Chain A
Amino acid sequence: MLALYLAQAINSGLALGAVYGLMALGFSLVYNSSRLINFAQGELLLLGGLVLYSLSQAFALGPVTALLATGFFGFALGHILYATTMGVMLTAQPLRQLMLTVAASLVWQGAAILIWGKNPVKLDQFVALPPLRLGPLFLGGNTVTSLTLAVASVVILSGFLTLTRTGRAIRAVSMNALAARLQGVNPVRAQALSFALSGMLAALAAMAVGPQTMLRYDMGFGLGLKGFVAATLGGYSSLSKVFAGGLVLGVIEACLTLAFSADLKETLTYSLLVALLVLAPIQQGRRQKV
């Protein structure tokens, strides 16, 4: 009986963990390029999902068109977020930039309420994959779809950052913005691109989470925060580790829900983050710059 519950917990944990993983990737992209913790990351997911919902109501979207539309609008939303936050206050103190992302998340949430209302909307499953049985482990259709979307995103993003000139420029800015600038890289452009890419990842996360939990105007902050926990768990440095952090967090959360109440689960998850922040060996210098 316990094995059955555990298998179910892993199934739901991986489905949500894939979403956390995508959010964590967005967080770490923005953090590495601009040393900013983006509070509006969750709202990128929300608006990306809601735009996709409206498109699906207006047009009959197939899997490919849905993916392309998600990618395009997510990219555009991320760019708009950059232009209205970091882009406006490039030389401001980090705390003021952080607070501007908080205010931006309010603006975006307000826009979502005004346009789509407060009732939750259910996003169609555009990329429907069959369930999968791996020995005692059963992965439902939603879980397989979420995992496939997320893993494909990690592979493509990894390829982009490693193999293309623009991707290498983003990595150079992440490592040392001043040295990258001396080599002819425009750090501002790299930061804007990181925001846009994180918007794309958030929209893909919305595509994965929308059919599972529906889209609600106030869901962004919670998911964004979980993405931050996952990114901290993964250590911000490597894409695969950050994504794995998301999966681990999803599974831990599902197991905690199995063992404790939902409120206690949240308490333990956030306690884990505080413990990680205090104990994890992230370079001191990098932290000071945030």
Chain B
Amino acid sequence: MTRDLRNLAVFLTAVAALGAFLPGVHLLTLNQHLFLAANVLALNFCLGLGGQASMATGAFCGLGAYASVILHGLWPEGTLLIVPGVALVAFFCAYWVSKPLEKLGEGFLAMATLCLCLIFVNLVLTFSSVTGGSNGMMVQTAPTLPFIGELKGDRANFAALLVLIALGGYLFCALRDSRLGRALLACKDDALAASSCGIDRVSTRALSFGVGGALSALAGMVLANSTGFISPGQFDLGLSLKTLLFLVIGGPGRLIRPLLAVLVLESLLAWFHALGEATVLVHGLILTTALVAGYWRETGRLRLLPR
């Protein structure tokens, strides 16, 4: 067992212990944080391993949520096929979207994927007969698993999110330590040198993009089940920006720190939600401070923070 996996186990045990004692309302908040953490982990496949800054998290997450709700409405007993099926569709969507975008640099890739996120939200709004448009959709049927039954209630969704993060974390470590992971890291460090060594850059990076997209879609499915209602606003640009921000603050390529950054910063942001009109300003200041502090820590200008 690697050090990262041990740390992940400790992290998840601590969160599970926290969740076991939290009352309903607070557990719902924790679920929201964990949902964001799952998305940060998904983005870590693209950025941390492949070096591709994506802002399409919202789109893949929304794809998972909407597809799951619509398909469960049509076939309530089909969870065992719907969940992996939707994840697979999200994987291939992300895989094929990534291929033509691979040649773009970080900034342009971020803007292109940001547009994908906006396109998804606008398509949801346009096809309101299927998606409910701006009014959103009620989740009529909860996923049902054999031996477990219906995944209903905050505790069940909390457990589902923990399992998802555990699975994602394990996959992240396994991929990073594999031949494919080393190829991805090579593409991230020096794309030209990686190509010179015979690595098929486009396909390799598309794979990490696909895995990230699938994980986001799974997180979206759990979110839909957790909130009981989905609307385009839940999967808009805010989600993608937040995800990328937290990953950059936590450190792309690391496993635990981005997850911790989500929990700590999201709790802090939620704490300041009651400030009324000053909320946006305070949120911006917190994120700015976190970014600048991270930079100073990296450059050794802030000796007090652990490197």
Contacts and interface: CB of A to CB of B under 8 A. Distances in A.
B106 interface: yes
A267 B281 contact: no
A181 interface: no
Contacts of A288: 105, 191
Contact of A96 (B118, B123, B248): B248
B106 A95 contact: yes
Interface string A113-157: 110011000000000000000000000000000000000000000
Contacts of B107: 35-37, 94-95, 98, 290
A156 to B, nearest CB: 28
A175 interface: no
B84 to A, nearest CB: 28
Contacts of A36: 107
B126 A263 contact: yes
Interface stretch (B21-29, B109-117, B168-176, B213-221): B109-117
Interface string A88-113: 11011011101110111111111101
Contacts of A88: 292, 295
B53 interface: yes
Interface in B215-248: 237, 241, 244-245, 248
Nearest to B282: A110
Q: Is the interface of A mostly helix, strand, loop or mixed?
A: helix
B103 A100 contact: no
A99 B103 contact: no
A261 interface: yes
B23 to A, nearest CB: 31
A123 B168 CA distance: 51
A111 B285 CA distance: 11
A287 B123 CA distance: 29
Interface residues of A, number: 47
A83 interface: no
Contacts of B119: 267, 270-271, 274
Given A100-B292, A266-B118, A278-B100, A287 B105 contact: yes
A98 B298 CA distance: 17
Contact of A102 (B101, B108, B123, B245): B245
A95 B107 CA distance: 7
* Chain B interface residue number, banded: 35 or more
A265 to B, nearest CB: 9
A264 B128 CA distance: 12
Nearest to B281: A110
Contacts of A75: none
Given A103-B287, A263-B122, A267-B126, A98 B110 contact: yes
Contact of B288 (A103, A263, A267, A271): A103
A20 interface: no
Contact of A270 (B115, B126, B288): B115
Contacts of A91: 299
B245 A273 contact: no
B278 interface: yes
B19 interface: no
Given A107-B284, A267-B122, A274-B112, A98 B106 contact: yes
B104 interface: yes
A267 B118 CA distance: 7
B179 to A, nearest CB: 25
Contact of A89 (B279, B281, B295): B295
A277 B111 contact: yes
A84 B291 CA distance: 12
A104 B277 CA distance: 17
Contact of B244 (A84, A99, A225, A273): A99
Interface in B257-302: 277-285, 287-288, 291-292, 294-295, 298-299
A284 interface: yes
B125 interface: yes
Interface in A50-105: 84, 88-89, 91-92, 94-96, 98-100, 102-105
The 6 residue pairs across chains A and B that have the minimum distance between CB atoms: A110-B281, A106-B284, A290-B107, A107-B284, A110-B280, A270-B115
Interface of A: 35-37, 84, 88-89, 91-92, 94-96, 98-100, 102-111, 113-114, 117-118, 221, 225, 228, 261, 263-264, 266-267, 270-271, 273-274, 277-278, 284, 287-290
11 contacts: A94-B107, A104-B288, A106-B284, A113-B281, A263-B123, A264-B122, A267-B126, A277-B112, A278-B104, A287-B103, A289-B105
Given A274-B115, A274-B119, 11 more contacts: A95-B110, A95-B252, A98-B53, A106-B287, A110-B279, A113-B277, A273-B112, A278-B101, A278-B112, A287-B105, A290-B106
